Amino acid sequence: SNISAWWNFGSLLGLCLITQILTGLFLAMHYTSDISTAFSSVAHICRDVNYGWLIRNLHANGASFFFICIYLHIGRGLYYGSYLYKETWNIGGILLLLVMMTAFVGYVLPWGQMSF
């Protein structure tokens, strides 16, 4: 009756989160966090690790898809009046801020040109 495709974005967010965690763990195994070698470790992942380029691209594009799903999820919540459930809506706002902060850290980690 009132169930539509717009209600799938919460599940898609869970799937995206699992994908981000798995690809992030794989990348973390090969990443060096020292400022002078961080960028070269990312290049090493892309060039020398088997399918490292694929995992890195899945991780980077997965983050973009994650935010697309978040914004569609918020838009669905606004359209259907989910903001009336104050506690749930506030927890969602806090989660949005935490995800934005995590994404910022993800942009800084490679120490490339976009990190400055």
Residue 116's pLDDT band (boundaries 50, 70, 90)? low
Q: Where are the domains of the chain?
A: 8-109
pLDDT at residue 5 is higher than 90: no
Q: What topology does CATH give the domain 8-109?
A: Cytochrome Bc1 Complex; Chain C (1.20.810)
Q: What confidence score (pLDDT) does residue 1 get?
A: 47
In angstroms, rounded to a whole number, what is the distance separating the alpha carbons of residues 67 and 76?
14
**What's the whole-number mean pLDDT along residues 70-78?**
94
Residue 3's pLDDT band (boundaries 50, 70, 90)? confident
pLDDT at residue 67 is higher than 70: yes
Q: What confidence score (pLDDT) does residue 77 get?
A: 93
Condensed to tens digits (0 to 9), the pLDDT of residues 75-86 reads 999 999 999 999
**What's the whole-number mean pLDDT along residues 46-56?**
97
Amino acid at 64: S
